Amino acid sequence: MEARKRAYARYSGFKVGAALEATDGRIFTGCNVENASYGATCCAERTALFKGVSEGARKFKRIAIVAATKGPCPPCGVCRQALYEFSPNLEVIMANTKGEATVKKLAWLLPLGFEKGRLRKS
């Protein structure tokens, strides 16, 4: 919830906050940062992930995501794939500002995620 307050959602007004826990216990927060070109926008989940990776974390336990949505807020497909690269079995806590929440494993949210092994030439 705290990370969501820092969101830069000047165009959509859709503010999202995330907190990503590394396996060593460190927490990395993120908010969405929009851009007038839209394609340069970064979601809260990837902001948290990139902060974690830039600080040396490579494995993560769980991520919490919150937004003012009707039900719990799931990560977008791009964020699912980015997180999958580091932790396919990540616990994803999806919540909204009304306190509704649900928990799923990332592999359930992204079955058959693209991974390094698929890059091999046949």
Return d(Cα 93, Cα 12) in angstroms, integer.
23
Return d(Cα 96, Cα 73) in angstroms, integer.
6
Return d(Cα 110, Cα 122) in angstroms, integer.
24
**Per the residue annotation, which of 2, 21, 45, 115 is the catalytic one?**
45
Q: Taking the chain, what is the end-to-end CA distance rounded to the nearest angstrom?
A: 46
- Give catalytic status of residue 2 as yes or no: no
Q: Which residues are catalytic?
A: 45
